[in-house]
Amino acid sequence: MGKMAARIKLLAKTTASLEEIELILRAEHADPFHILGMHLVEVEGKSAVAIRAFLPRADHAWVLRGQDEGSVVPLQRIHPNGFFEAVFPGEQAMFPYRLRTEYAGQHEFEDPYRFPPFLSDFDLHLLAEGTHHNTYEKLGAHVTEIAGVRGVAFAVWAPNAQRVSVVGNFNDWDGRRHPMRVRGGSGMWELFIPELREGEIYKFEIKGRYHNYLGLKTDPFGFYTELRPKTASVVYDINRYTWHDQAWMTERSARQGLNAPVAMYEVHLGSWRRAPEENHRVLNYRELAEQLADHVQKMGFTHVQLLPVTEHPLDESWGYQTTGYFAPTSRHGTPEDFMYFVDHLHQRGIGVILDWVPAHFPSDAHGLAFFDGTHLFEHEDPRLREHPDWGTRIFNYGRTEVRNFLWTSALFWLEKYHVDGLRVDAVASMLYLDYSRKAGEWVPNAFGGNENLEAIDFVKRFNELAHQCHPGILTIAEESTAWAMVSRPTYVGGLGFSLKWNMGWMHDTLQYFSNEPIFRKYHQNNLTFSLLYAFNENFVLVLSHDEVVHGKRALLAKMPGDYWQQFANLRALYAFLYAHPGKKLLFMGGEFGQWNEWDAAKSLDWNLLDYEPHRKLQELVAELNHLCRAERALHEIDFEYTGFEWVDSHDADNSVLAFLRKGKTPGDYLVVVCNFTPVPRQGYLVGVPEACFYREILNTDDAKFGGSGVTHGAGRQALPLAWHNQPCHVELTLPPLGVIYLKPQR
């Protein structure tokens, strides 16, 4: 003690421990409440109250006792670096007080170190257990009132920290000013800063126990963040907004059930549309709400699916390298603005699905990586920690608090922002320990296999919680392997997702359509193979953003042939997509035939709608969406073999396919006939179930869609002569590069 005391040149006597004073001065005290604030002490054998404060900028300081302005007691400067104390002899109980300082004027304020803990023992128990699924209500920054005083309650998990402080403009980013209290062995740190207001920017300064680590971290539970490239969190109250989407929320379960029409419009908000008259600035959430709802409603899509809107520092990541798992990106406005966005789309009858990324996170110094001077959120072993494809970190799904952090994030978006579903990115990279790794670069599981057992358990529980807490929502897996039962309930051994992206269908179908028509007869199986597994999962057929970047070309540019044939091919592709079993997804720009690859740094080429072929292609997509909604045969049985029947899949020489799509009601079906060559085929017989009149409800070669006009007028009468294993047949003229839908009229 003598050596420690010798280093401190005290100016007055103090009731405090000299060792603790030095820890406060060095910002190393793990429990600042033990020395700062009000304490019952003994002075010369008699009871007293001591009030201590660390005020490094103050020239002078006082204690204001209670509400009596006359009870002003000077604080004695104990150390020249700003440690103060006032002793009240004879006092035997605590009393309310405020502090006053003099530095460039006088300032009066509440002492943060006079307030009690706000995390309850039950909160700490649930947090440690991993069952506190509203963690966002406790951790992070919350505008609240404690002991009749308004302020902000801060809490963060950093179990390997020696000291954690809240820093911001309000304390000159000085980590000595507002050190937090640690709650026992829980690793949870908390501090109520009275009179702090919404809008303050802040971070957590974390001093680790090892290797002199000192980090400045964005709040993992922060609701709002500064606009990049700045990275501080912003205090924000997310509980003010008044929702007006009760009708949608009541009907949601029915509107996105497995037997409902679901056609998703995939959107990157930063590049969907910009404001060219204002130097091509990005639109804010409220502008996007109005304009996107108008477009989606006109086009007939049922949902928008947003590339990640969770906060991210790098535009080029498109949002897939998340730092703010509870913060909508500030690129487009405030959290309340995003609530308005979702609310407005709901009021217009449009669902909102978010991309959510629990598979990995970036290594940015201000984010989750090496959070408290240890690999807290990620694995310590680099073979488990590093994602080889993206240079990111992989979550440690075996750590209870990490799992709970991610589950809580998912439930947060469903609860606070009323989103209708989560599409989980890169699920395959979570499920396999050897994903994108060579031999020797991965660690087998306890049984010697390559399955990530902890991640599998995490995914299953995520789906159980999401569906249990918010019945009727959708969870969608981007899973690119043959993992079994991805979209089957966990109680039968599945992963529990509602839907799974059909990556195989996307790859095979685009490969087929990229071939010159003369060679397509050798690749007929590219289109028919998907029906061998179409009902193994609840599939979404996707033409997503991944297929129109990095040199893959836009959908229209993938199509072979001359200008007319390219449009005809794309029309045929879209009609085949909407006729095939499964829910639908189309990336923005595809609906009007964007020529250029998607560029996240600029707007879609909306000027293309000045040209007739693009306008007419857009009309076709709108008509397909209308038919998908109106015709139960196109959506009612997407995931069972009873909703589909081949009429003819063998005419590869002519590149023709014919099949039935069926609804649940007997006799409710459509006949779909596809000709994927530019050769019209006259007198082509197609087997049909009935000798009735078949109305042509869609023909992609119709002139109104930009086709050559080879149509059947109202339709054709079927004859009672068997063909294609059907009791009747209809004689058609198959349009070039065309798809037709026929509906029986009895």
pLDDT at 2: 40
**Closest by CA position to 635, among listed 497, 519, 539, 491:** 539
Q: Of 189, 205, 195, 207, whose CA–CA distance to 139 is shortest?
A: 189
CB 594 within 8 A of CB 607: no
- Specify the CATH number for 121-234; select among 3.40.640.10, 3.40.50.12160, 2.60.40.10, 3.90.1150.10: 2.60.40.10
pLDDT value at residue 101: 93
Cis omega (within 30 of 0) for bond into 117 = no
> And the tokens for 455?
């991640």
**Which pLDDT score, from 0 to 100, does residue 71 have?**
85
> Roughly what angle, to the nearest 10 degrees, separates helices 503-514 and 563-579?
150
pLDDT value of position 8: 67
**Rounded distance, CA 99 to CA 553, Å?**
65
**CA angle, 543 then 545 then 546, to 5°:** 90
pLDDT at 5: 43
Among 425, 454, 479, 636, the active-site one is 425
Task: Describe the strand order of the beta sheet including 669-675 as a list of residue ranges.
Answer: 644-648, 656-662, 669-675, 738-745, 693-699, 715-717
If you compute the radius of gyration of the chain from its CA atoms, what whole number of angstroms results? 32
Q: What is the pLDDT of residue 90?
A: 85
What is the CATH code of the structural domain delimited by 2-111? 2.60.40.10
Q: What is the pTM of this model?
A: 0.94
Helix axes of 400-416 and 453-469: crossing angle, nearest 10 degrees? 30
Largest CA distance in the chain: 114
For 136-184, what is each residue's pLDDT tens digit?
A: 999 999 999 999 999 999 999 999 999 999 999 999 999 999 999 999 8
Domain ranges of the chain: 2-111, 121-234, 259-632, 640-745
Strand extents, DSSP E, 343-430 = 351-356, 386-387, 392-393, 421-424
Between CA 454 and CA 447 the distance in angstroms is: 13
What whole-number distance in Å separates Cα of residue 651 and Cα of residue 661? 19
Rounded-to-integer distance, Cα 216 and Cα 194, Å: 22
CB burial of 685-712 (b: ≥16 within 10 Å; e: otherwise) equals: ebbbbbebbbebbbbbbbeebbbbebbb
**Predicted local distance difference test score (pLDDT) of residue 185:** 87
Q: What is the mean pLDDT of the chain?
A: 95
Catalytic hit among 200, 337, 420, 478: 478
How many of the other CB atoms lie within 10 Å of CB of 34? 16
Where are the alpha helices (H) located in 306-426, listed in sequence order? 335-347, 382-385, 400-416
**312 and 322 in contact (C-beta within 8 Å)?**
yes
- Across the chain, which has 746 residues, the per-10-residue mean pLDDT values are 53 85 90 94 88 93 78 91 92 89 89 94 90 93 95 97 96 95 92 96 96 95 97 97 97 96 98 92 97 98 98 95 97 98 98 97 96 96 91 95 96 98 96 93 94 97 97 96 96 97 96 97 97 97 95 96 97 98 98 96 96 98 98 98 97 98 97 98 97 98 97 95 96 98 95
Strand order in the sheet with 149-157: 140-146, 149-157, 188-194, 181-182
End-to-end CA distance of the chain: give it in Å, rounded: 100
Q: Do domains 2-111 and 259-632 have the same CATH topology?
A: no
**9, 80 Cβ separation under 8 angstroms:** yes
Residue 605: active-site member: no
Q: Which two tokens stand for residue 586?
A: 């189309």
At 4 the pLDDT is 45
Among 492, 524, 487, smallest CA distance to 650 is for 524
Q: State the amino acid at position 417 in one-letter form.
A: Y
Fold of 640-745: Immunoglobulin-like (2.60.40)
d(CA 602, CA 439): 41
Predicted pLDDT at 30: 85
Whether residue 413 contacts residue 141, with contact meaning beta carbons closer than 8 Å, is answered with no
Q: What is the pLDDT of residues 194-245, one digit of tens each?
A: 999 999 999 999 999 999 999 999 999 999 999 999 999 999 999 999 999 9
What integer pLDDT is reported at residue 159 of this predicted model? 96
- Closest listed residue to residue 356, CA positions, set 244, 494, 497: 497
Answer yes or no: 425 catalytic: yes
Query: How far is residue 535's CA from residue 251's CA, in Å, rounded to a whole number?
Result: 27
Beta-bridged to residue 539, according to DSSP, are 500
Task: Fold for 259-632, please state it.
Answer: TIM Barrel (3.20.20)
The DSSP-derived string for 97-144 is EEEEEESSSEEEE--GGGSPP-S-HHHHHHHHHT--TTGGGTSEEEEE
Give 394-400 contacts, CB < 8 A, sequence gap 24+.
394/359, 394/360, 394/429, 395/358, 395/359, 395/360, 395/361, 396/454, 397/430, 397/452, 397/454, 397/455, 397/457, 397/458, 398/454, 400/128, 400/129, 400/130
